[in-house]
Amino acid sequence: MSNEKVARVLYEIADLLEIKGVEFKPVAYRRAARNIEELDKDIEEYLKEGRLREIPGVGEAIAKKISEIIESGELNYLKELREELPAGLLQLIEVPEIGPRTVMRLYKELKITNLHELKRAAEEHRIRRLKGFGDRSEEIILKGISLLEHRTGRMLLGYAYFYGKAIVDYMIAAGGYSLISTAGSLRRMKETIGDIDILVGSDEPEKVMRVFVENPRVSEVIAKGDTKSSVRLEEGVQVDIRVVSTDSYGAALQYFTGSKEHNISLRSLAIEKGLKINEYGVFKKDANERIAGRTEEEVYAALGLEMMPPEIRENRGEIKASIEHRLPTLVELGDIKGDFHVHSTMSDGGATVEEIAQDAVKRGYEYIGITDHSESLKVARGVAKEDLKRNIEKVREISEKTGGIRVLMGAEVEIRNDGILDYPDSILKDLDFTVGAVHSGFKMSEKDMTERIVTAMSNDYLTILAHPTGRVLEQREPHQVDVDTIIDTASEKGVFLELNALPERLDLNDLNCRKAKEKGVTIAIGTDAHSLAQLNYMMFGVATGRRGWLEKSSILNTRSLKEVERSLGI
DNA sequence: GCCGTTTTCGGCCCGACTGTTTTCAGTCG
């Protein structure tokens, strides 16, 4: 029974209780579920060791339910809840603008139990007859259903980032705003983004609203108020904007950056200190006197906290770390001195080694690693053994010719099903470094996959394990592998773990990066670029590392060329 | 249902926008 499965049961209970109108319990169940999802150990171990109640948010009642879930595979309490309410109601709360209260009313008064019935009721104008509903309500419901039917899921950070930047740039050009930023999960650089949030500090809010909705890329204005508006772009992306007065900008930026969990903790801390915090500032609770709000630093300082980077505001210990003055000094893009995962025209990349080398010089890199695919990955024009030797010579020549940078010759070598690498050691020894990767045979059991990867890591020539969990966001689940064992093996054998910076991978993810760091494993960030433009993905790798609390010292490519040569033994 | 350097009981984050019911509940972030 995985942590995710246990969490899913608790989430379902929360949803059902919420529809029933039960207060406070849904929040409690969700909190427990979220903390279980983020545990770095198997929940069954907690059960075995009798330590369930050490998990934040898990008390006597939930601990008992978790035991039942793990031991019997099901939960009577959930069964009973499900019997009380039709299963389709859970779909209904997914419809935007429909919440638990509305679901219950529609069920009680119109016997609506699923999406299909809701759609029909709206089309037949039966909903507008209910007290508190009108024709607009029906329109909104129908639009919500349509959106749900066509939803594309969450957007990858790699796309959202550029949409957000385009909107901000437009606002700056069209309105000359200087206090403007993305906020929300985009500013925290989460791997996937729901809506894009923008914040502006201005004392002419109505003008900001006008400029915002008049952006030619806007296809639909969802809501337009005095200080808050929402639009949809032609691409289907929802963008929300808020305006606050210039002297509240810091408080608002803090507030709208979140995360929600981070803010809730901050509020509790404020209450303990006799303060109140909202998007307008920090106030003394009794006197209602404002003591901070112009900048984020001010807001945190008013709570006795050091300023913390947006990427770690997830309520994962950053507030405690801030109180104790042990916040990490996170890695920055400017610390990066090279890239360890780049494909060239020698396999399926779009740029030649010369072009890549020159581009890397422009980026100020000291080194760049070429890692074309190995022989058996035919779909990616994997390089045959005979050709590899010639390629090595060629890359050495280019490296010597290109001033100011060393081009490191590597390869992204297939890890076969038995854990053996796709090139023999006699060839690997001539490379500067070797990146091992799983690109096939995903459906192995966790035990077999873990063994396969550990075997590969035991090869002395394996330098970096590429995209260790194999996930492809919104497309493919990570393969079944015991990440803890991989991290321990990396620590023991001195293998570097990759943080693959492709927006659809970002693998290792933030939580695993943090785990690896705690075990003393060094991370190598690689863009996996297949074109010069994709070398820019380094920023998303760095962002994900920052979310995983990574500092410069835990990352291979912050080291100078000399140090890297020493690390690689070349 | 959880939780506690004010609390083992009584709290549980806070405000904007919308539609509709002309004073507010519901939803969202």
Pair A156, A185: CB distance under 8 Å: no
- CA–C1' nearest nucleotide, residue A256: B29
State which amino acid sits at residue A82: R
Please say whether the dihedral angle defined by the alpha carbons of residues A555, A556, A561 and A565, taken in this order, is positive or negative. positive
Task: Give residue A199's identity as a one-letter amino acid code.
Answer: L
Residue A536, burial from CB neighbour count under 10 angstroms (0-12, 13-18, 19+): middle
Asked if A324 contacts A511 with a C-beta cutoff of 8 angstroms, the reply is no
Nucleotide nearest to A230 (CA to C1'): B17
Q: Which residue is nearest to nucleotide B17 (CA to C1')?
A: A225
Tell me the CATH class for A155-244: alpha beta
CATH class assigned to A3-149: mainly alpha
- Residues comprising chain A, all counted: 570
List of A residues 353-372 with CB within 7 A of strand B: none
Determine the residue type at A489: T
Which positions of chain B lie under 7 Å from any protein Cβ?
Answer: 1-3, 6, 11-21, 25-29
> Cis before residue A89, ω within 30 degrees of 0?
no
Instruction: Quickly give A405 CA vs B29 C1' distance in Å.
Output: 47
CA of A134 to C1' of B19 (A): 8
Q: Are A161 and A540 spatial neighbours (Cβ–Cβ below 8 Å)?
A: yes
Length A86 CA → B19 C1' (Å)? 28
Query: Within 69-128 of chain A, which residues have Cβ less than 7 Å from strand B?
Result: 95-103, 128
A498 CA → B17 C1’, Å: 45
Domain locations in chain A as residue ranges: 3-149, 155-244, 248-323, 333-568
Non-local CB neighbours of A54 within 8 Å, separated by 6+ positions: A46
Dihedrals phi, psi of A465, to nearest 5 degrees: -95, 115
Instruction: Give pLDDT, residue A131.
Output: 86
Amino acid symbol at A416: R
> Which residue, A457, A459, A529, is CA-closest to A496?
A457
> A256 CA to B29 C1', in Å?
8
Q: Are A525 and A542 in contact (CB under 8 A)?
A: yes
* CA atom of A291 to C1′ atom of B15, Å: 19
Which tokens in the block code for residue A361? 């010089």
Amino acid at A296: E
- Smallest Cα–C1' distance to nucleotide B3: which residue has it? A57
Give the CATH number of domain A333-568; options: 3.40.190.10, 3.20.20.140, 3.40.1370.10, 2.40.10.10: 3.20.20.140
Residues 411-470 of A with CB under 7 A from strand B: none
Question: Residue A29: which H helix or E strand, with range?
Answer: helix A25-37
Pairwise CA distance, residues A46 & A41, whole Å: 8
pLDDT of A152? 60
A60 touches strand B (CB under 7 A): yes
A472 CA to B15 C1', in Å? Answer: 38
Q: What is the largest CA-CA distance in chain A?
A: 79
Q: Is A288 left (phi over 0), alpha (psi -120 to 50) or beta?
A: left
CATH code for the structural domain at A248-323:
3.30.210.10
Q: How far is the CA of A435 from the C1' of B26 (A)?
A: 54
Place of tokens 């063994």: A451
Gap from A224 CA to B18 C1', Å: 10
Q: Are A306 and A325 in contact (CB under 8 A)?
A: yes
| pLDDT per residue of chain A (570 residues) written in tens, 0 to 9 | 778 889 989 999 999 998 988 888 998 998 898 888 878 788 998 999 889 998 888 999 999 999 999 999 889 999 999 999 888 898 898 888 888 999 999 998 999 998 889 999 999 899 998 888 988 889 888 888 887 776 666 789 998 999 999 999 999 999 999 999 999 999 999 999 988 999 999 999 999 999 999 998 888 888 888 899 999 887 778 899 999 999 999 999 999 999 988 998 898 899 888 898 989 999 987 767 899 999 999 999 999 999 999 999 999 999 999 998 999 999 999 999 999 999 999 998 889 999 999 999 999 999 999 999 998 887 787 899 889 999 999 999 999 999 889 999 999 999 999 999 999 999 999 999 999 999 988 878 889 999 999 999 999 999 999 999 998 887 677 888 999 999 999 999 999 999 999 998 999 999 999 999 999 999 999 999 998 989 999 999 999 999 999 999 999 999 999 999 999 998
Whether CB of A140 is under 7 Å from strand B: the answer is: yes
3-class secondary structure for A233-271?
ECCCCEEEEEEECHHHHHHHHHHHHCCHHHHHHHHHHHH
Q: Which two tokens stand for residue A455?
A: 């075997």
Cα angle A420, A425, A427; round to 5: 120
Q: Which tokens sit at A526?
A: 């690689």
Look up residue A266 and give its two tokens. Answer: 């901050």
Amino acid (1-letter code) at residue A215: N
Q: Please list the residues that pair with A321 across neighbouring strands.
A: none
